[in-house]
Structure 1
Amino acid sequence: MPTEKYCVMGNPITHSRSPWIHTRFAELTNEPVAYTRQHVELDSFQQAIKDFAAQGGKGCNITVPFKLEAAELATQKSERVTLAGAANTLTIHADGTISADNTDGLGIVADITRNAGVSITGRDVLLVGAGGAAAGVLGPLLREKPRRIIIANRTVEKASHLAESHAAIAAETGTELSASALDAITEDFDIIINGTASSLAGAQSPVPASVLRQGALAYDMMYGEKAQGFLDWATRHGAIARDGLGMLVEQAAESFAIWRGVRPPAEQVLRELRAEIAAGR
């Protein structure tokens, strides 16, 4: 079987671990996949997709800042894309149509429940942020049937809009879903998920330590050095700290399964990637 082409597109993109992850998936599953990274100029995303399709490309992962454009470009959209308004996985079909999905939420749920061994069902969850990162994970989090989710954001109107767009799923799963301003949070939670860009700015946490219930899981969707301030803050206050590297690998596994119909061994690849990073590679 001839090798088929896939890639990750973004700006910036040189830091992306996706080529390493998908290459390893291909090796372990014996799938004929060639996966590269592609830097795309800010006003050239649609053309980049057209060019990649013309070169025989079969699918793309999409990262910052093109996830909204990816959703708009798609011919068919999954429920997750429709709810989030963003896509991170595009499949290019032989007839030229493009299907879009968003695997970020599936990735974080798999990492929390399977890799970290923490149940979301029946728990109280604080989702910090209301941008694309938070929107991408809210639907799958609700599907796990937590007791409640509060979306906290600097601009409460944005958090309210995100909550309203997911009200039907919340009603279906019996989850109490609401919005709050960041500085108005007075309760504590079992799971705190940082979906803001605070880690990029070097901030330790966008919320006070009072949100951390005893033994809480504090999860930053960033990974590596960018997440270290938040992780140190969480550990210092007695929480279980976890970065988003597992989410990265698990969402990649979901994309790979969509494209190839094969489930790669994500847990093994996550262990190997952590070892690579620890070795400075």
Structure 2
Amino acid sequence: MHRNRFAVFGQPVAHSRSPAIHAAFAAQCGIALDYVRIEASPEDFAVAVERFAREGGRGANVTLPHKPAAAALCTTRSERAARADAVNTLVRVDDAAGGAPRWHGDNTDGIGLVRDLRERHGLRLDGARVLLIGAGGAAAGVAPALLDAGIAVLAIRNRSSARGDALAARLNDARVRALAWDDADDAVFDVVINSTSAARSDTAIDWPFLHAGADGWTAVDLGYGRDAAMFLETARARGAAACIDGLGMLVEQAAESFRLWHGVMPDTAPVYDVLRRELPAP
């Protein structure tokens, strides 16, 4: 029996939960597929994707550090991928004339985050004041969806002011402003989102602005499990009323990728519940 071939590309990628998530979605929907992890360095990424396509690959997820490079490989991109200038989902587009495989690129990170925050955690985003920490591919992936969700303010803090300024300029929205990392801005925020990998190590990090939350503010880390622990523990100690890691976002963005590939939306709740038992919230 022919089995659809899918993969997740990254470096590192051995920790990825994507194969288990997509296997669970496929079982729900009665779809047979092969979904594997493919480790590729930045130098080898394009060649690895080409090889995957030649071997019958129909679609792929892309994680760090390849999202900007994936965008460059695509013949076409969705509006949300174009706004992010980063792709986390590749969809095979067959050439009717039998030419070389082509890829359509999408970015499901933002819609995955918004669905998780709204539907799973009941967080109100309409009118919210949001601080986004970081200005890399992860931040660029979620920022457009946050703006589309109706937030009132999106402030961006990044250690490199130039990168923060560049992301704010690319978003081209009056609600967006870039702040210096150590700027003594007195603004308060309803939601503070960490998109950086800086908290993934054991080295203590100072977030001098984390005291600036409004009453009842919510802290969000796009990492999950242990990777989110340092930031969320710091946020909790500094008055965050709620702390949310990125596990729900991971499942929701995967579901959107699955929908793009197979034309059906899976039920994310049971998949999230299984993973949550394996990875307790930090």
Question: Is the TM value for this pair above 0.5?
Answer: yes
Q: Which moved more, 1:73-82 or 1:228-237?
A: 228-237
1:245 corresponds, among 220, 244, 247, to: 247
Matched letter for residue 136 of structure 2: G
Does the alignment pair 1:220 with 2:225? no
Unpaired runs of 5+ residues, structure 2, are: 96-100
Q: Contact between 1:204 and 1:233, CA under 8 Å: does it hold in 2?
A: no
TM-score calculated relative to the size of structure 1: 0.92
Provide the TM-score with structure 2 as the length reference: 0.92
- Alpha-carbon distance in 1 for matches of 2:33, 2:259: 12
Percent identity between the two aligned chains? 41
Structure 1 residue 209, shift from structure 2 partner: 3.1
Q: How does 1:33-182 map to 2 (within 5 A)?
A: 33-95=33-95, 96-167=101-172, 170=173, 176-182=175-181
Give the deviation of 1:183 after TM superposition: 1.1
Divergent runs of 4+, >4 A: none
Matched-pair contact (CA < 8 Å) for 1:150–1:180: yes
* Number of residues of Structure 1 aligned to a counterpart in Structure 2: 272
Aligned to 1:27: 27
Q: Aligned to 2:200, what secondary structure does the other structure show? A: coil
Q: Is the 8 A contact 2:58 2:91 kept in 1?
A: yes
Q: CA deviation at 1:231?
A: 1.5
Q: Distance in 1 between matches of 2:63 and 2:199?
A: 17
- What is the CA-CA distance between 1:31 and the residue it aligns to? 1.6
Please give the alpha-carbon distance, in whole angstroms, between the structure 1 residues aligned to 2:57 and 2:116: 29
| C-alpha contact (below 8 Å) 2:191/2:219 kept by paired residues | yes
Quote the residue 1:236 is aligned against: 237
Which runs of no fewer than 5 residues in structure 1 stay unpaired? none
What is the SS of the residue equivalent to 1:98? strand
Answer whether contact 1:198 1:205 (CA < 8 A) is retained.
no
Give 1:235 shift.
2.1
For 2:12 and 2:165, how far apart are their aligned partners in 1?
Answer: 30
Q: CA RMSD in A?
A: 1.5
Q: Tell me if structure 2 keeps the 8 A contact 1:205–1:229.
A: no
Distance 1:205 1:257, change over 3 A: farther
Question: Is the contact made by 1:6 and 1:60 (CA closer than 8 Å) also made in structure 2?
Answer: yes
